[in-house]
A and B are shown apart, each in its own frame.
Chain A
Amino acid sequence: KAGVTQTPRYLIKTRGQQVTLSCSPISGHRSVSWYQQTPGQGLQFLFEYFSETQRNKGNFPGRFSGRQFSNSRSEMNVSTLELGDSALYLCASSAGVRYEQYFGPGTRLTVT
């Protein structure tokens, strides 16, 4: 069974731009969660989608948004990029609540 895939793997953007990251979950998984990892803050939860609905949201500004499609693929968008948004963005999929989450390789975003 194929794992979680994320595209692109690396991205360089300029302050003020916006970016869209994509995540394809493991086949059959309906829950997709997004995390941001930085050296200073570690791994922080952004949001979770289940059956196209946002079920849970972390403590991030409204510039961070996401959505999930009917095939469970998910995208996250960051508008008006700031230098502090430079991070590794990780996506994880799960069969449901209380099941283990499987992480993708991440997208490394650099904002200059």
Chain B
Amino acid sequence: DAKTTQPPSMDCAEGRAANLPCNHSTISGNEYVYWYRQIHSQGPQYIIHGLKNNETNEMASLIITEDRKSSTLILPHATLRDTAVYYCIVRVEPGNQFYFGTGTSLTVIP
């Protein structure tokens, strides 16, 4: 039972905004959406998370639809170092179990 669905791959031109979509139609009312990225089999790196309001930090913005069934991660000015696999995650209750899914492989093109 997939908790999240993401496109397998995307390209983005360097300097442009990268918009990564995620579908989480079965999300429960108190489940947060987390975004992580993984570069070359390093440990996944935390990017941002949110519940229902849009969130922004120094790395990215997270836009969550009003019905909370989908979200979009926005990297405002993509650089070559943003090339990575991006995971949209819903935490599986109870406890702290993350369901990672297959992620989106983002390639930033010079």
Contact = CB atoms under 8 A, between A and B. Distances in A.
14 contacts: A33-B97, A42-B100, A43-B87, A43-B98, A48-B96, A48-B97, A55-B94, A55-B96, A56-B94, A56-B96, A92-B98, A100-B34, A103-B36, A103-B45
Contacts of A44: 100
B5 to A, nearest CB: 14
Interface residues of B, number: 23
A101 B96 contact: yes
Q: Enumerate the 3 nearest inter-chain pairs by beta-carbon distance, A residue then B residue, closest first.
A: A103-B43, A56-B95, A43-B100
A8 interface: no
Interface string A79-111: 000000000101010101110111111101000
Interface string B1-42: 000000000000000000000000000000010101000011
A103 B45 CA distance: 7
Given A42-B102, A100-B46, A100-B49, A88 B41 contact: yes
A31 B42 contact: no
Contacts, number: 67
A76 B41 CA distance: 20
B52 interface: no
A4 interface: yes
Tell me whether chain A's interface is mostly helix, strand or loop, or mixed: strand
Interface string B61-102: 000000000000000000000000001000110111111111
B98 A45 contact: yes
Contacts of B98: 33, 35, 43, 45, 92, 101
Contacts of A100: 34, 46, 49
Given A98-B32, A100-B34, A105 B96 contact: no
A77 B105 CA distance: 31
Given A42-B100, A42-B102, A100-B34, A106 B41 contact: yes
Given A55-B96, A98-B32, A106 B42 contact: yes
